[in-house]
């Protein structure tokens, strides 16, 4: 960045230095108090000096709303970037990122996050702590699974996951009530029903814990070691509505397919408390016309109907 | 398709002129695909002329109607953000011309899925279209997916469909199953359509 930039243009709000071969952005940035948009795509940024020291204390940390660093050489998200608390829109598309730092949650004003075209293999659950996130792009990466916590992204309207390594999605994805756009093509999604039951039998501790919970055995913190009180608080409810049981660590992973408009079947990962729960709710209430492999949960079909619009292809 | 009725090479020097010549061409009974494609390719994209139609949406590509061709064709501008792509779709028995005005678009051609088939659709070919290139497709050629694969640049394309249509089928690449959809315009003649 040219020296004296902030002296000549103290009121600068938008700075576009894209395609200039920039390898470093220096301290000039720190004295631009009005800057809300910084576009620096297609440069040579990514090394240690890419962002100036002291960024967290500069006025920029509060004023910057839009930052575009796509098409550079970042191998990791620079920690300094996470101090930009006012940031609404961040693009790091087309870089060399291998992961997303859990501290991404510090960018609590973030609404738009573009991370497509990197080498990301996993998504930290902390990403779900971004309360205003509306648009999340993770396409063209190497992601193998989506943490179920992502369902906490209440504001999410669009999720781009195409061209990754996903074989299934967590069933919680259906809880994203505002999700209108979901791209999944180019993933090796499981197509056939998977009777994958690498079921490790529950430990004695687990069996005892299940009994305490399902029989409502009363207990007080003074009755048990703290570790067991904590353990009991981690019980998860079996999603099988006919079960009402709980599980702790020992659960059955099963992929069930949710029908989208009868044509597109999405493999969702369910956790059930025992192999008995996994037999598809084959009781008399099951409609005779439904497919034996498809899921007939009401809430799933409502969510499916909502998302059918752009899920296809 | 129809035989060419004129052999002279028409050149459109502006978007306005392109629209005017298209109206002339489509007023005739017979229209030549080659002629339309050459005409569209001849127009050198000038953003000043189409910027007012180029309305982007954050979440997906947009369709912005430019001219309704006296009912003979629809001319529209599509705006693709980074990573935006379409589903695999057909063209409801119409002719489709697609010219790149800015950026690049990847076009992947697919075979029609066979009736009994219940497996992955067959990719025929793929190519990246550059600025000012014009592609053509119709249902007898096959199906296609169009996407902006850039993570740094947006793309803008000019589409002509004749006859106009507002529904088509989208296809699931993994199974070949199709689903009818209705298409809408994000804006018409430069004005945002609120629905």
**At residue A266, does pLDDT exceed 50?**
yes
Rounded to two decimals, the pTM is 0.80
Residue B172 has its nearest CB partner, among A71, A116, A263, at A263
| Interface touch B60/A137, C-beta < 8 Å | no
pLDDT score, position A252: 66
- Helix/strand/coil (H/E/C) assignment for every residue in chain A: CCCCHHHHCCCCCEEECCCCCCCCCCHHHHHCCCCCEEECCCCCCCCCCCCCCCHHHCCHHHHCCEEECCCCCCCCCCHHHHHCCCCCEEECCCCCCCCCCHHHHHCCCCCEEECCCCCCCCCCHHHHHCCCCCEEECCCCCCCCCCHHHHHCCCCCEEECCCCCCCCEEHHHHHCCCCCEEECCCCCCCCCCCCCCCCCCCCHHHHHHHHHHHCCCCCCCCCCCHHHHHHHHCCEECCCCCCCCEECCCCEEEEEEEEECCCEEEEEEEEECCHHHHCCCCCCCCCCCCCCCECCCHHHHHHHHHHHHHHCC
The domains of chain A, with CATH numbers, are 5-195 (3.80.10.10), 201-249 (no CATH)
pLDDT score, position A254: 64
pLDDT score, position A108: 94
B1 occurs within a structural domain: no
Residues 132-161 of A with CB under 8 A from B: 134-135, 137, 139-140, 157-158, 160
Q: Which residue of A has its CA nearest to B178?
A: A263
What is the ipTM, given to two decimal places?
0.88
| Interface touch B179/A135, C-beta < 8 Å | no
Residue B170 has its nearest CB partner, among A70, A137, A312, at A312
B194 occurs within a structural domain: no
B111 occurs within a structural domain: yes
Is A310 touching B (CB cutoff 8 A)?
yes
Q: Map residue B162 onto helix, strand or coil.
A: strand
pLDDT score, position B4: 52
B114 occurs within a structural domain: yes
**pLDDT tens-digit map of B176-186:** 888 888 889 99
Residue B173 has its nearest CB partner, among A135, A180, A185, at A185
Task: Give me the CATH number covering residue B125.
Answer: 2.60.120.10
B175 occurs within a structural domain: yes
How many beta-carbon pairs below 8 A join chains A and B? 73
B2 occurs within a structural domain: no
Q: What is the mean pLDDT of chain B?
A: 92
Please report residues of B whose CB lies closer than 8 A to that of A112.
58
Nearest alpha-carbon partner for B99 in B159, B48, B153, B53: B159
Is A260 touching B (CB cutoff 8 A)?
no
**pLDDT tens-digit map of B24-52:** 999 999 999 999 999 999 999 999 999 99
**At residue A92, does pLDDT exceed 80?**
yes
B10 occurs within a structural domain: no
B9 occurs within a structural domain: no
pLDDT band at A246 (very low <50, low <70, confident <90, very high): confident
| Interface touch B83/A114, C-beta < 8 Å | yes
Give how many domains chain B has, as a whole number. 1
- Provide the residue range defining the domain that includes B143: 15-186
pLDDT band at A247 (very low <50, low <70, confident <90, very high): confident
**pLDDT tens-digit map of A150-209:** 989 989 989 999 999 998 888 788 788 788 888 888 888 776 555 444 556 788 888 898
């Amino acid at each position: 960045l040219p020296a004296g930039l902030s002296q000549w243009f103290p009121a600068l709000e938008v700075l576009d230095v894209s395609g200039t071969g920039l390898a470093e952005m220096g301290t000039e940035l720190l004295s631009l108090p009005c800057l809300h948009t910084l576009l620096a795509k297609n440069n040579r940024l990514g090394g240690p000096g890419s962002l100036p020291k002291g960024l967290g204390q500069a006025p920029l940390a509060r004023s910057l709303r839009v930052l575009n660093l796509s098409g550079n050489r970042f191998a990791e998200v620079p920690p300094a970037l996470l101090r930009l608390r006012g940031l609404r829109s961040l693009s790091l598309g087309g870089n060399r990122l291998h992961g997303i730092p859990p501290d991404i949650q510090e960018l609590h004003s973030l609404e738009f996050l573009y991370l497509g075209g990197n080498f990301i293999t996993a998504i930290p659950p902390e990403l779900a702590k971004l309360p205003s996130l509306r648009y999340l792009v993770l396409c063209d990466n190497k992601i193998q699974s989506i943490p179920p916590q992502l369902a906490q992204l209440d504001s999410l309207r669009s999720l781009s996951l195409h061209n990754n390594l996903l074989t299934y999605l967590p069933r919680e994805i259906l809880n994203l009530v505002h999700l209108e756009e979901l791209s999944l093509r180019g993933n090796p999604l499981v197509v056939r029903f998977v009777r994958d039951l690498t079921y490790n039998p529950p430990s004695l501790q687990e069996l005892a814990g299940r009994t305490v919970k399902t029989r409502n055995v009363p207990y007080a913190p003074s009755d048990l070691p703290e570790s067991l009180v904590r353990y009991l608080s981690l019980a998860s409810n079996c999603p099988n509505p006919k079960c009402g049981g709980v599980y702790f660590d020992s659960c059955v992973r099963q992929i069930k397919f949710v029908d989208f408009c009868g044509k597109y079947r999405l493999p969702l990962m369910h956790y059930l408390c025992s192999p008995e729960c996994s037999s598809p709710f084959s009781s008399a209430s099951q409609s005779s016309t439904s497919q034996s492999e498809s899921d007939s949960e009401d809430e799933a079909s409502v969510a499916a109907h909502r998302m059918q619009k752009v899920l296809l292809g | 398709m129809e035989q060419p009725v004129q052999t002279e090479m028409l050149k459109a020097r502006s978007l306005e002129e392109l629209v005017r010549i298209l109206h002339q061409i489509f007023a005739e009974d017979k229209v030549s695909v080659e002629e339309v494609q050459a005409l569209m390719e001849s127009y050198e994209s000038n953003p000043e002329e189409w910027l007012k139609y180029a309305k982007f949406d954050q979440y997906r590509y947009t369709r912005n109607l430019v001219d309704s061709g006296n009912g003979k064709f629809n001319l529209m501008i599509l705006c693709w953000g980074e990573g935006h792509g379409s589903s695999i779709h057909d063209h409801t028995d119409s002719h489709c011309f697609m010219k790149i005005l800015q950026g690049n678009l990847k076009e992947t051609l697919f075979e029609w899925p066979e009736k009994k088939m219940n497996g992955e659709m067959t990719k025929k070919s793929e190519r990246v279209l550059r600025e000012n290139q014009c592609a053509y497709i119709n249902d007898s050629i096959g199906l296609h997916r169009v996407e902006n694969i850039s993570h740094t640049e947006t793309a803008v394309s000019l589409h002509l469909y004749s006859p106009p249509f507002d529904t088509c089928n989208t296809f699931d690449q993994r199974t070949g199953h199709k689903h009818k959809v209705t298409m809408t315009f994000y804006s018409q003649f430069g004005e945002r359509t609120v629905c």
